[in-house]
């Protein structure tokens, strides 16, 4: 009979994670751990000390501000872990850095790989901004016509349409990538990450793949929930921004449509950090309690996790557990048992090789050897056989 899935209810932990290529990254308050399974079945681990700038008692640790910091740090961590997971798998990116990246590294006096990573982050952000900010605004502007002071009567509807288009693009993107074979495996490791954290939060200290498998693969603190909240809260924030701008007489009667479009787009970019910070606080608050309101806030993001997570296999859960204990700085009982079993097998194999198969028989063979006469001298080698004869095999 299939075990019913459990829901964590005892404790919370600050560990968050990310699925990577054939593995899982887990991040705690003190470090970032990663475990990856190679093609030969072995699990390789990597650990880096890490401390977020968003610490209590500092400006970066203030509410909303810490969400902005977490958003930027998660972008960099995501790029780093993707590259590192490929290295742990035995793969590497051999692409030659571009002239621009070399120039950037030289001018900023940074390592060439840091420059490459920085360019990658900027390009990723540009793609995200273009896809989720510029495109919805452009389509909405085409639908509602030019934005002049006298004609801009549908500015609220335009803002709402932009938000709905952002949500539609996000959901469509998730559906599109979920059909890719390699992404499906990443989503399975994503499910393994959630189940492992849920198992620990239930009060379990000795994590095993079998125990973790019983828990749900959906988790309220998932990045999928966060991104959905960013999309949803952006509708509210940007609509309020448009109302304020309209009340101030924007756009002016003589302002060109293109200029008005670029100003609105610039305002949206400037408000992105605020949206990210507010979304972070909403996610934290909704994950701490389980009442009807917080469940309603989490519901859309949890539903989207049905796309971004898949049921993992036991060996994937084993990888996630290795990463989790490493991030927590705790001993891994699962790994210790496995090492002990391997050591016992190796010791047993060594004893089997050294010990005689049958002591009594061994004694008889020794006695027979002592009584045996000396072997006669080997006869002279026979003459070579005539053509067509097969030479006799040497008796060894």
Going by pLDDT thresholds of 50, 70 and 90, the confidence category of residue 306 is very high
**What value does the mean pLDDT of the chain take?**
82
Q: What is the pTM of this model?
A: 0.78
Query: What SS3 state is found at 47?
Result: strand
Phi-psi region of 47 (alpha: psi -120 to 50; beta: other; left: phi over 0): beta
Is residue 15 within 8 Å of residue 28, measured between CB atoms?
Answer: yes
Predicted confidence (pLDDT) at residue 197 exceeds the cutoff of 90:
yes
Q: What does the alpha-carbon distance between residue 319 and residue 183 come to, in Å, rounded to a whole number?
A: 17
Residues 6+ apart with CB under 8 A from 383: none
pLDDT of residue 392: 38
pLDDT of residue 367: 45
pLDDT of residue 199: 95
Q: Please give the distance of CA 357 from its chain centroid, rounded to a whole number.
A: 52
Q: What does the alpha-carbon distance between residue 36 and residue 315 come to, in Å, rounded to a whole number?
A: 11
Q: Which of 217, 215, 209, 214 is nearest to 313 (CA)?
A: 209
Q: Which of 5, 1, 6 is nearest to 201 (CA)?
A: 6
- Residue 374, number of CB atoms within 10 A of its CB: 5
Rounded average pLDDT over 179-199:
94
Predicted confidence (pLDDT) at residue 104 exceeds the cutoff of 70:
no
Predicted confidence (pLDDT) at residue 22 exceeds the cutoff of 80:
yes
Predicted confidence (pLDDT) at residue 130 exceeds the cutoff of 60:
yes
pLDDT digits (tens, 9 = 90+) for 253-304: 778 888 888 999 999 999 999 999 999 999 988 888 888 899 999 999 999 9
Q: What does the alpha-carbon distance between residue 141 and residue 261 come to, in Å, rounded to a whole number?
A: 8
Of 5-19, 155-169, 273-287, the one with minimum mean pLDDT is 5-19
Q: 371 versus 336: which is more confidently predicted?
A: 336
Rounded average pLDDT over 21-26:
94
Q: What does the alpha-carbon distance between residue 171 and residue 173 come to, in Å, rounded to a whole number?
A: 5
Predicted confidence (pLDDT) at residue 93 exceeds the cutoff of 70:
no
Is residue 29 within 8 Å of residue 12, measured between CB atoms?
Answer: no
Rounded average pLDDT over 359-379:
48
Residue 223 is encoded by which pair of tokens? Answer: 């990045």
Of 68-82, 122-136, 148-162, 248-262, the one with minimum mean pLDDT is 148-162
Q: Where are the domains of the chain?
A: 16-325
Rounded average pLDDT over 301-330:
95
Q: What does the alpha-carbon distance between residue 267 and residue 275 come to, in Å, rounded to a whole number?
A: 12
Relative to beta strand 31-37, strand 16-20 is: unpaired
Residues 6+ apart with CB under 8 A from 263: 250, 251
Rounded average pLDDT over 134-143:
91
Q: In the chain, pLDDT over 90 holds for what percent of residues?
A: 45
Q: 97 versus 372: which is more confidently predicted?
A: 97
CA atoms within 13 A on the CB side of 274: 11
Rounded average pLDDT over 306-332:
95
Residue 40 is encoded by which pair of tokens? Answer: 């030969």
Residues 6+ apart with CB under 8 A from 192: 19, 24, 212, 312, 316, 317, 319, 320
Residue 124 is encoded by which pair of tokens? Answer: 């990723």
Going by pLDDT thresholds of 50, 70 and 90, the confidence category of residue 150 is very low
pLDDT of residue 250: 82
pLDDT of residue 356: 60
**What CA–CA distances, in Å, run from 67 to 285, 297, 323?**
12, 18, 25
Q: What does the alpha-carbon distance between residue 225 and residue 223 come to, in Å, rounded to a whole number?
A: 5
Beta bridge partners of 75: none
- Which of the given ranges, 111-115, 127-131, 183-187, has the highest pLDDT on average? 183-187
Predicted confidence (pLDDT) at residue 151 exceeds the cutoff of 60:
no
Predicted confidence (pLDDT) at residue 72 exceeds the cutoff of 50:
yes
Q: Please give the distance of CA 359 from its chain centroid, rounded to a whole number.
A: 57
pLDDT of residue 393: 39
- Residue 23, number of CB atoms within 10 A of its CB: 30
Handedness of CA 107, 110, 116, 119 (dihedral sign): negative
Rounded average pLDDT over 81-89:
84
Q: How many helices and strands in the chain, by DSSP H and E?
A: 13, 4
- Which of the given ranges, 91-95, 219-223, 319-323, has the highest pLDDT on average? 319-323
Predicted confidence (pLDDT) at residue 313 exceeds the cutoff of 70:
yes
Going by pLDDT thresholds of 50, 70 and 90, the confidence category of residue 145 is low
Of 138-147, 172-181, 259-268, the one with minimum mean pLDDT is 138-147
Going by pLDDT thresholds of 50, 70 and 90, the confidence category of residue 19 is very high
- Residue 128, number of CB atoms within 10 A of its CB: 12
């Amino acid at each position: 009979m299939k075990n019913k899935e459990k829901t964590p209810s005892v404790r919370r932990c600050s560990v968050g994670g990310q699925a990577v290529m054939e593995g899982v990254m887990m991040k705690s308050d003190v470090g970032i751990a990663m475990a990856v399974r190679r093609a030969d079945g072995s699990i390789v681990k990597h650990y880096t000390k890490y401390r977020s700038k968003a610490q209590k008692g500092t400006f970066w640790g203030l509410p909303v501000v810490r969400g902005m910091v977490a958003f930027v740090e998660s972008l960099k961590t995501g790029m780093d872990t993707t590259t590192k997971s490929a290295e742990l798998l035995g793969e590497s990116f051999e692409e030659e850095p571009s002239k621009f990246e070399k120039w950037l590294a030289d001018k900023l006096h940074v390592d060439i790989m840091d420059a490459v990573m920085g360019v990658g982050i900027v390009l990723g952000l540009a793609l995200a901004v273009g896809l989720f900010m510029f495109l919805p605004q452009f389509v909405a502007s085409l639908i509602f016509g030019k934005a002049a002071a006298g004609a801009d009567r549908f500015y609220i509807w335009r803002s709402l349409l932009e938000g709905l288009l952002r949500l539609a693009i996000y959901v469509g993107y998730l559906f599109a990538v979920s059909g890719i074979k390699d992404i499906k495996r990443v989503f399975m490791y994503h499910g393994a990450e959630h189940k492992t954290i849920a198992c620990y939060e239930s009060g379990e200290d000795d994590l095993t793949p079998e125990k973790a498998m019983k828990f749900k693969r959906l988790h309220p603190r998932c990045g999928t929930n966060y991104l959905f909240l960013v999309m949803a809260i952006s509708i509210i924030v940007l609509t309020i921004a448009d109302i304020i701008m309209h009340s101030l007489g924007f756009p002016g009667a003589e302002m060109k449509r293109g200029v008005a479009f670029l100003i609105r787009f610039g305002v949206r970019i400037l408000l992105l950090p605020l949206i990210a910070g507010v979304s972070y606080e909403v996610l934290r608050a909704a994950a701490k309690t389980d009442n009807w309101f917080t469940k309603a806030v989490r519901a859309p993001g949890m539903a989207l996790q049905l796309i971004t997570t898949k049921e993992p296999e036991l060996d994937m859960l084993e990888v996630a557990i290795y990463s989790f204990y490493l991030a927590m700085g705790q001993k891994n009982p699962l790994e210790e048992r496995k090492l002990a079993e391997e050591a016992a097998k190796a010791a047993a194999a060594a004893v089997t090789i050294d010990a005689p198969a049958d002591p009594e028989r061994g004694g008889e063979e020794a006695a027979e050897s002592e009584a045996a006469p000396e072997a006669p001298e080997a006869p002279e080698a026979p003459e070579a056989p005539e053509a067509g004869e097969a030479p006799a095999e040497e008796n060894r």
